[in-house]
Structure 1
Amino acid sequence: MSGGRTTGRKGRLHAFGRLVAGNPQILFGVVVLVMLVAAALFAPLIAPYGPAETNIMNRLKPPSWAHLFGTDAFGRDVFSRVVHGARYSVIIGALTMLTTTFFGTALGIVSGYLGGLLDMILMRLTEAFMAIPAILLAIALIAILGNNLGNLVIALTVAYVPRLARIVRSLMLSLREELYVESGRSIGARPLRIVIHYMLPQLLPAILVQSSFIIAYAVIAEAGLSFLGVGVQPPAPSWGGMLSDGRTYMAIAPWITIFPGLGIMLIVLSLNQLGDGLRDALDPRLRNVT
């Protein structure tokens, strides 16, 4: 029995490997993401300086062998700050994806499967939240809850749960009319068993694709909030905060904003490529579901 499970896992890993190798979009997304996550995990080993280490004698130095990405107005090494800043983007993006996926999926399943008055109430609530731009909703929630990493994840989760919930709910509405679901009901199977064993596996491709997009949304939102001063607070290095710090010196020291900007671009581009590739590979019917 154990051997069968091991063989099954190896088969799935082999199939995933072929999927990645055979799709340039997925391959690009996976390679770039692995590099960025590795940089975030091993930042203390990669960065030659501390992220808050200042040396006023080296302020606004251009890129060189001593400082690969140059220095900022406080003489801090931009490369070290970019590498450490990747940690916040990865952590906030991953946590937001996990919480949004859990609550958005649960809300969409309940609303789509049960329908009726509960579905109407839940969908009107999601529409009310979606009417507010995500960044403004996040700013309002952070102002109410307070500014820390946990509350930032909560604010982004509340902003993005309605979007995922509506996608899951729309898929549930079609799945609940399928013959195998009707057969399950006819033999007296409990709703929870029908959802977990028959409907959830059909939802997983769409959920997986949307999860990759959610991380990208969260990275952009965190950068925007930090740029505005309500995200990750200094002296902690944040890509959005670095963009805000460097805008004053764009004319004389553009490297302060160029390199964190490239970091944001790379992680968002890789996640979008990964999501697009997974969407096309797992289920071509999902190409128009965004």
Structure 2
Amino acid sequence: MSGSGLSARTGRIVALYRLGTGSGQLLFAVSTLVALVMLAVLAPVIVAYRPEATAILDRLKPPSLAHPFGTDAFGRDIFSRVAYGARYSLLIGAATMGATTILGSVIGVVSGYVRGFLDLALMRIMEAFMAIPAILLAIALLAILGNNLGNLIFALSIAYIPRLARIARGLTLSICEEPYVEAARAVGASPPRIVFHYILPQLLPAILVQGSFIFAYAVIAEAGLSFLGVGVQPPAPSWGGILSDGRTYMSIAPWITIFPGLGIMLIVLSLNQLGDGLRDALDPRLRNLS
């Protein structure tokens, strides 16, 4: 069994390497994500203005050397606001992905391995959450808990945990029927050993793929919530908030909405392509190692 597991892991690594070196799509995704992360991390160094700094005499200026992305109705530099807004989008997306993958995996594995009443109860709870659109559920939770960054991440995590929990449960049910799991039980392996040595390694590829998609969903959801005024609160810049500020000036200053919109599009597109690439590399039914 250990030899088979090692061979499978080696095959996945080789497939991922071949896909990464031969796929322009995956290379674009990784390059775009790295560029956006660098923009967010280096924002204090590369921008010339504070994102909240106003200059009424420079209001609604088009893109120029002084303001590469132009200015908004308060004279704030759009480039600095987009750069600092990337921090919030990436932080919220990454934190939501981390919390969702950990908690969703735990719920799904426990439900699929233990089964019985616990499985029934957990899945009914997950279905109840899935019946509510993610944005509406997040708005309701923020209304109850209060609007801050921690509660925003918590609300989005609760909204997306059921999606991953059901996937993890279905895969766990399938893996538990495999001969090597039955053999491990027969020789007296404890449930924790079976879960950590036989189930979780098989779940990891699907968890990674779903995690990249959840990252993208969280970025879109955060932008939507900020656009509606219930996400990241001013004066902190966020891409959704910039879009909301610029919608009134679409006809005379379209750059206010164009650049944060491009940021959202690029990060979501690159995350989806990354997820597709990981799926192709890690799913034995889709990859071709010949």
The bucket for the TM-score relative to the shorter chain is: over 0.9
The aligned counterpart of 2:9 is none
User: 1:118 maps to what in 2?
Assistant: 118
Report the CA distance between 1:286 and its aligned residue.
7.5
Distance in 2 of aligned mates of 1:152 and 1:37: 21
Contact 2:226 2:240 in 1 (8 A): yes
1:127-276 alignment to 2 at 5 Å? Answer: 127-276=127-276
User: Structure 2 matches for 1:47-62, cutoff 5 A?
Assistant: 47-62=47-62
Task: Give the whole-Å Cα distance in 1 for the aligned partners of 2:164 and 2:61.
Answer: 45
Q: Any idea what SS the aligned residue of 1:168 has?
A: helix
Matches of 1:245 and 1:225, distance apart in 2: 13
Distance across 2 between alignment mates of 1:286 and 1:214: 21
State the 1:25 CA deviation.
Answer: 2.6
The percent of aligned pairs where both chains have the same amino acid is: 74
Q: What is the one-letter code of the residue matched to 1:245?
A: D
Match of 2:94 in 1: 94
CA drift at 1:46: 1.4
The amino acid that maps onto 1:160 is Y
Indicate conservation of the 8 Å contact 1:206/1:286, yes or no. no
Contact 2:15 2:281 in 1 (8 A): no
Residues 75-94 of structure 1: pairs in structure 2 closer than 5 A: 75-94=75-94
Return the alpha-carbon distance in structure 2 between the equivalents of residues 223 and 129 of structure 1: 21
Amino acid at match of 1:58: D
**Residue 22 of structure 1: how far off its partner (Å):** 2.2
CA shift digits 1:112-169 (9 cap, x unpaired) = 1111111111111111100000000000000111111000000000000000000010
CA contact (8 A) 2:15 2:282 kept: no
Secondary structure class of the residue paired with 1:161? helix
CA contact (8 A) 1:30 1:270 kept: yes
Letter in 1 for 2:273: Q
Task: Give distance in 1, aligned partners of 2:134 and 2:286.
Answer: 24
Q: Cα distance, 1:18 vs. partner?
A: 4.3
The one-letter code of the counterpart of 1:268 is V
- Structure 1 residues 181 and 266, CA, compared in 2 at 3 Å: closer, same or farther? same
The AA in structure 2 aligned to 1:159 is A
Unaligned runs of 5+ in 1: 1-11
Partner Cα distance (1:90, 1:155) in 2: 16
- Check whether the contact 2:16–2:281 (CA below 8 A) recurs between aligned residues: no
Aligned length in residues: 277
What amino acid sits opposite 1:21 in the alignment?
Answer: T
Counterpart-to-counterpart distance in 1, 2:286 and 2:196:
21
The root-mean-square deviation of aligned C-alpha atoms, in Å, is 1.7
Higher mean displacement: 190-199 or 18-27:
18-27
Closer/same/farther in 2, CA of residues 285 and 140 from structure 1, 3 Å limit = farther
- The 3-state SS of whatever aligns with 2:71 is coil
Q: Is the 8 A contact 2:61 2:71 kept in 1?
A: yes
Q: Is the 8 A contact 2:62 2:253 kept in 1?
A: yes
2:54 pairs with 1:72: no
| Equivalent-residue separation in structure 1 for 2:218 and 2:201 (angstroms) | 26
Where do 5+ consecutive residues of structure 2 fail to align?
1-11
Equivalent position of 1:3 in the other structure = none
